[in-house]
Amino acid sequence: MEFLDLAAILLVLAAVFGYLNLKFLKLPTTIGIMLIGLLSSVVLLVLRDALPLVPEAAGRFVESIDFNKTLMEGMLSFLLFAGALHVNLGNLLDQKRLVAIMASFGVVLSTFLIGGAAWLLFPLFGFGVPFLWCLVFGALISPTDPVAVLGILKTAGAPKSLEAKITGESLFNDGVGVVVYLALLGMALGGHGDHGMNGAGDVAKLFVVEAGGGMLWGFLIGFAAYFMLRSIDNYQIEVLITLALVTAGYRLASHWHLSGPLAMVVAGLMIGNQGRSFAMSERTREHIDTFWELVDEILNAVLFLLIGLELLVLDLTGKALAVGAILIAIVLASRFVATSIPVILLKGRREFSPGVVRILTWGGLRGGISVALALGIPKTIEHREVILVATYVVVVFSIVVQGLTLKPLVARVVREGDEEEEPTISSA
């Protein structure tokens, strides 16, 4: 099927599902669209025997979409830039140590905790998944998804300092998580293929080049765009400059094997802060904000629609679903440990209320990135399906259950007087 045909069908479905959600369900747009997509998929699966042609056609349509390529090489750059564009750099820098620890050490720790637990769990259900592939699963499910997190936080009403923690971590741990995933995938593939890792030197090089190079590249293109924006005052061209920054910047990062996600985050922070303050007129700021908010909303709608429809092509079994259900608790427990340790380490510099860990744990949503990375595992790997199903179960629970209950949790913590206090000592 041609690209324009796929795009047309997806946009029509997203628009119709969005309308139905707004008219009847009245849930947050992304969650509502995903739920309607899930329900539609379930209905089609139930009708598989009675009306086989319709479910089969729907399944072929979903299979024709390369979810991994669509998200990782297309939509993600726009979503990350749009998300970072509205992050206050001052608030983020105030939480820099906590964000840095959670986005690096926290991701690695969570990877090994989840991977180790999965290695013990899989054999109990008859799945002989090797330890390295369990670590691959741990790596792809550990990063919180900035797309899901930012979408929910818009309506959660979290205190600014807490919002900065969750937002900053989700933006940066995405890039770190992808690098960890690529390193472990390379080792699991035994040094073969595009991601082959032959030793610790290759892994270290991957981290330095991908993560460090990606952030440096983001700074350079962000500075270049800032210089151009500052030298003119024409909102049409300035919007075009930001669009060119994202499309060309991300593609070049991928071509040079740099972290495109981290590049987009850094560039978005520069344009959204220095660019907004010193390089844009009020009229330009309004148009750029409106443009990128629309891009963010439209792509979010399509992404969550795809997550819902992905159910049509999964090889669902009772054992795989049971493993996924247990892994929900394991992922949450690992998230709790990975957030508690940084808070404990920094308590000498900052004061934290108990509610911080609670909200950071529950607010660490998994989303489309985890599904895309799971789909990126080569189809020749026999453990791929159980990893994919387990990932999908965790992601759906995270978005639906955690996403819908995050706002009430934040409200309750605030109401109880359990919200995070401002630091009384030096900034972290």
> Following DSSP, what letter does each residue of 140-206 receive, concatenated?
HHSS--HHHHHHHHHHH---HHHHHHHHHHHHHHHHHHHHHHHHHHHHHTTT-STT---SHHHHHHH
- Burial code (b: 16+ CB inside 10 Å, e: under 16) for 62-96 equals beebebbebbbeebbbbbbbbbbbbbbbeebbbbe
Distance (Å, rounded) from C-alpha 234 to C-alpha 250? 24
Identity of the residue numbered 350: R
- Residue 426, pLDDT > 50, answer no
Q: At residue 136, what are phi and psi to the nearest 5 degrees?
A: -60, -45
| Single pTM value for the model | 0.92
Give the confidence band of 8 by pLDDT, cuts at 50, 70, 90.
Answer: very high
* CATH topology assigned to domain 66-415: Na+/H+ antiporter like fold (1.20.1530)
For residue 49, give the DSSP letter.
Answer: T
Please, what is the Cα angle at 223 between 217 and 229, to 5 degrees? 135
The pLDDT assigned to 353 comes to 66
Sign of CA dihedral 300, 303, 304, 305: positive
Distance (Å, rounded) from C-alpha 172 to C-alpha 80? 10
Average per-residue pLDDT for the chain: 89
The pLDDT assigned to 91 comes to 87
Residue 204: in which H helix or E strand, if any?
Answer: helix 200-206
Sign of CA dihedral 282, 288, 294, 296: negative
The pLDDT assigned to 162 comes to 77
For residue 421, give the DSSP letter.
Answer: P
Q: Where is mean pLDDT largest: 82-86, 232-236, 348-352?
A: 232-236
Distance (Å, rounded) from C-alpha 93 to C-alpha 78? 23
Q: Encoding tokens for residue 100?
A: 């840095």
The pLDDT assigned to 174 comes to 84
Sign of CA dihedral 169, 171, 172, 177: positive
Q: What is the CA radius of gyration of the chain?
A: 21
- Pairwise pLDDT comparison (17 vs 348), residue with the higher score: 17
The pLDDT assigned to 193 comes to 47
Ramachandran class of 233: left when φ > 0, alpha when ψ lies in -120 to 50, beta otherwise: beta
The pLDDT assigned to 424 comes to 44
Give pLDDT tens digits for 20-44. 999 999 998 999 999 999 999 999 9
- Residue 157, pLDDT > 50, answer yes
| CA-based nearest residue to 43, from 234, 309, 236 | 309
> What is the four-CA torsion angle of 242, 245, 251, 257, rounded to 10 degrees?
-130
The pLDDT assigned to 203 comes to 74
Q: Mean pLDDT throughout 134-151?
A: 88
The pLDDT assigned to 198 comes to 60
> What is the four-CA torsion angle of 344, 347, 351, 355, rounded to 10 degrees?
0
